[in-house]
Amino acid sequence: MGLFCVIDEWRRENYLTRKNGRRVALEMELNEGDKLLDVGCGNGEILSFVKQRYPKARFYGIDILPSALAKADKSMKGVFKLAGAEKIPWGDDYFDCAVSTLVLHHMNNGKEGIAEISRVLKSGSKFYLSDIAPIPLFRKIVNFFYWIICGANRIYSKEEIRSLLIKHNFKIIEEKKLSWWGNWLFVAKKRS
């Protein structure tokens, strides 16, 4: 896990990550008082972008890195917990909206992560999922190295992401390509 923590710290400070977060935040729609969960919140930067547009929303975040959560807690008024996406520490139907940017390919088990996000979202709530889904050859090369290094993480294809969302009770409302290098935004609504 040490190597991936270093990579994850770099990712959170990376220009492309910040740019992606801003773009996703601009796509989001919230109501006053909504509870928003950021899965893989890092330093809370995406939540701070959203807060500029929706100051009366309530902000929650989870991350596996204590150092990132410490930064988020200082910069945001919200609730931040040390947890992975596969075991979200809130009850069923708790959140009005969820966001996860460039985290799916870092999850130890993407299926469990998406299932947990579905569990904690209320029916009719939106989930904004942004992740890389590059061309097949690049995805296969990166997945091979993921398998060698840690055996768990992987990059999903667009079709696999769609399938994960549909399998876990989401209806896909929109798909949007955010970058030339294969970063996509999926906007999905939890079914009743």
- Which tens digit of pLDDT belongs to each residue from 4-55? 444 444 444 555 566 777 888 889 999 999 999 999 998 888 898 999 999 9
CA distance 178 to 132: 9
151: exposed, middle or buried (C-beta count within 10 Å: 0-12, 13-18, 19+)?
exposed
Q: Please report how the helices 2-13 and 15-27 are oriented relative to each other, as an axis angle in degrees rounded to 10.
A: 70
Residue 117 contacts by C-beta under 8 Å, 6 or more apart in sequence? 37, 39, 85, 88, 98, 100, 127, 168
- Which tens digit of pLDDT belongs to each residue from 109-159? 899 999 999 999 999 999 999 987 766 666 676 656 666 666 556 678 889
Q: What is the separation of C-alpha 128 from the centre of its chain, rounded to a whole number of angstroms?
A: 7
CA distance 4 to 153: 10
Domains and CATH numbers, the chain: 2-190 (3.40.50.150)
